[in-house]
Amino acid sequence: MTHQSNFRGTADLVGTVTDTSIMALESPKAPSDSSQKEIKPSVSDLPQETLDFAAKVFNLARNGEDELLGAYVDAGLPPNLTNDKGNTLLMLAAYSGHAPTVRLLHSKGADANSLNDRGQSPLAGAIFKNHEEVIRVLVELGADPRIGTPSAIETAKVFRKLEWLDMLGATEEEKNAPTPGVFGLGPG
């Protein structure tokens, strides 16, 4: 499905991405007093307009629609925005096989090592989905193959992608370690 956009530049974004919609998408932090906990709004606290916008943005990442997604981030959308399952825009782009989108989001500050709520990394997700170009880009950008549950190295072993172990920098000990059992993979 191709997204048709009437996007004409930053002026369009001002009408679309308001300060309130961006603030509603960010997770507010409590004062630095350690006795205070992070304040997280629930979905029911967000206006429907904000929820619709968030769904649109996550779909842009899934579909590799770089021009509009990049413009939204340039206009103030947090590059590490997460959905209700903790998946960042970069995770969704990686899992969907969009290497240019992964590179774009990383260039705008997205964390290639951000784990979702299930402890999964973008690199392990790309290995699970067999997206070789995304794997190469994430490794080039410094994604850590040892973080997450399962790690990218463990994921490569489970799916017998042994040729990728060298690219991931796996040690001989990691290559020879027992292969973990089957587990749920992919952004929940």
DSSP notation for 45-101? GS-HHHHHHHHHHHHHHHHT-HHHHHHHHHTT--TT-B-TTS-BHHHHHHHTT-HHH
State the pLDDT at residue 187: 56
Say if residues 115 and 88 touch (Cβ distance below 8 Å).
no
Of 90, 76, 84, the C-alpha closest to 19 is 76
Query: Residue 23 — very low, low, confident or very high, per pLDDT cuts 50/70/90?
Result: very low
Instruction: Quote the mean pLDDT of the chain.
Output: 83
pLDDT of 37 over the 70 cut: no
CATH fold for the domain made of 10-27+41-176: 1.25.40
Q: Does 80 or 15 have the greater pLDDT score?
A: 80
| CA–CA gap between residue 82 and residue 80 (Å, rounded) | 6
The pTM of the full predicted model, rounded to 2 decimals, is 0.76
